[in-house]
Structure 1
Amino acid sequence: MKLKIDGKDYSFIFGVKFLRNLDKNRGVEGEQNGMKMNFGMGLTVLMPALMTKDASALADTLYAAAKDNVTQDQIDNYIDNCKDLNSLFSRVINEIKASNAAKPVVKNLKA
């Protein structure tokens, strides 16, 4: 998926690296045998927020999927100024649903 942000085209890929980035930033944290751990599940936590059109979840999603050097501030500003936010949510959700890496998680969530 490509978006034009600040006049430049940026690529967003919803593959394994995207899932790893989500797990780091939105994963479920806990403790096991006295050690703090991240149990992953970032996409599982994120999808309901995307489905309810949470703009911060959308920003986190795009940042995790960014292939190029786009900053969180650039993404936030893009969303703040987006003329058709509903369409952007739909595009991102559809890209995630079509992703080979994310498809099994989304299917289990019935999103």
Structure 2
Amino acid sequence: MQIEISKKKYTCKFGVKFVRELDKKFAVVQDGVIFGLSLSTKLPELASGNAATLSEFLYAATITESPRPSQDEIDEYVDTVEDIESVFDDVLKELEESNAGKLAVRELKKNLANQMENN
């Protein structure tokens, strides 16, 4: 997936480096033990349309880019992109197709389906 910021294209990769980058910022700490559950905990926010989470995911996904866009540049991109719904859809699709994200997306879909059945 690519995004364009200030006429420069950046490739967003949703692999292990992306997950590791998310874990640096959003790790879960319990009883002094650090758990790398950031994708599982942040994915529902992304699926519900949280623009800040979208920006954080895009920033983490540019970890392999050099030079890398800043978080402020990604925020501006999210604030001004014409079809924000398409960007959310693209990120979720990329995650669903990546080895690093497919299990977390599958679990989220399963949990959402179970919630729908119970309501």
1:105 partner amino acid: A
Report what 1:4 is aligned to: 4
How big is the shift at 1:83?
1.1
Report what 1:42 is aligned to: 38
Structure 1 gaps of 5+ residues are none
Report what 2:74 is aligned to: 75
How big is the shift at 1:30?
2.2
Larger helix share, 1 or 2:
2
Report what 2:87 is aligned to: 88
* TM-score scaled by length of structure 2: 0.84
Structure 2 gaps of 5+ residues are 111-119
- Supply the RMSD in Å over aligned alpha carbons: 1.2
Select between 20-29 and 39-48 the one with higher mean Cα deviation: 20-29
Q: How many residues align structurally?
A: 107
Equivalent residue of 2:33, what SS? Answer: strand
1:76 partner amino acid: D
Q: List structure 1 runs of 4+ shifted beyond 4 angstroms.
A: none
Distance in 2 of aligned mates of 1:20 and 1:57: 16
Report what 1:57 is aligned to: 53
- Between the two proteins, what is the percent identity of the paired residues? 40
Distance in 2 of aligned mates of 1:106 and 1:80: 25
How big is the shift at 1:29?
1.8
